[in-house]
Structure 1
Amino acid sequence: MSTGLRSGIYTGPVFHRRLRPRVHALRYRLFMLLVDLDEWDDLVGRLRWLGAGRFGLMTMRQSDHGDGSETPLKVQIEQRMRDAGLATGGRVQLLTLPRILGYGFNPLSVYYCHAQDGRLSAILYEVSNTFGGRHSYLMPVGAASGPVRQAVGKAFHVSPFMDMDLTYRFEVDPPEGVEAEATRVSITVDDADGPMLLTGFSGLRSEMTDANLRRAWLGHPLLTLKVIAGIHWEAVRLLLKGLRLRGGVTPAHPVTVGGPSETSTGVHHA
Structure 2
Amino acid sequence: MKNSPQIIEGYVSHERVSPRIHSLKSKTFYLRIPIRSLLLDRGRNQPSHGNWIFGINRKSLISIHNEDHGSGDNIKNWLSETLKNNNLEDTVDGEIWLTCFPRVMGYQFKPVSFWFCENKDNELVAVLA
TM-score normalised by the shorter chain: which range applies?
0.7 to 0.9
* Structure 1, unpaired ranges of 5+: 126-270
8 A contact 1:9–1:34 mirrored in 2:
yes
1:24 to partner: Cα distance: 2.0
**Letter of the structure 1 residue corresponding to residue 78 of structure 2:** Q
| Residue 38 (structure 2) aligned to one of 31, 37, 40 | 40
Structure 2 CA distance for aligned equivalents of residues 15 and 31 of structure 1: 13
- Indicate the residue corresponding to 1:97 in structure 2: 101
Q: Is 1:9 paired with 2:14?
A: no
- Indicate the residue corresponding to 2:45 in structure 1: none
8 A contact 1:96–1:108 mirrored in 2:
yes
- Indicate the residue corresponding to 1:80 in structure 2: 82
- Indicate the residue corresponding to 2:113 in structure 1: 109
Q: What secondary structure, in the 3-state scheme, does the structure 1 residue paired with 2:78 have?
A: helix
Structure 2 CA distance for aligned equivalents of residues 27 and 113 of structure 1: 29
**Aligned pairs, how many?**
120
Structure 1 CA distance for aligned equivalents of residues 56 and 87 of structure 2: 32
1:25 to partner: Cα distance: 0.6
TM-score normalized with structure 1 length: 0.39
1:4 to partner: Cα distance: 4.9
* Structure 2, unpaired ranges of 5+: 43-47
Report sequence identity in percent.
29
Deviations 1:2-55 (A, max 9, x none): x8534200123222223566432111111110001023359933x440123333
CA RMSD of aligned residues (A): 2.7
**CA 117–4 in structure 1, closer or farther in 2 if over 3 Å, else same:** closer
| Residue 30 (structure 1) aligned to one of 28, 31, 38 | 28
Structure 1 CA distance for aligned equivalents of residues 18 and 5 of structure 2: 38
Runs (4+) of structure 1 exceeding 6 A deviation are: none
TM-score normalized with structure 2 length: 0.74
- Indicate the residue corresponding to 1:194 in structure 2: none
**CA 37–31 in structure 1, closer or farther in 2 if over 3 Å, else same:** same
**Letter of the structure 2 residue corresponding to residue 31 of structure 1:** F
8 A contact 2:12–2:26 mirrored in 1:
yes
Structure 2 CA distance for aligned equivalents of residues 116 and 20 of structure 1: 47
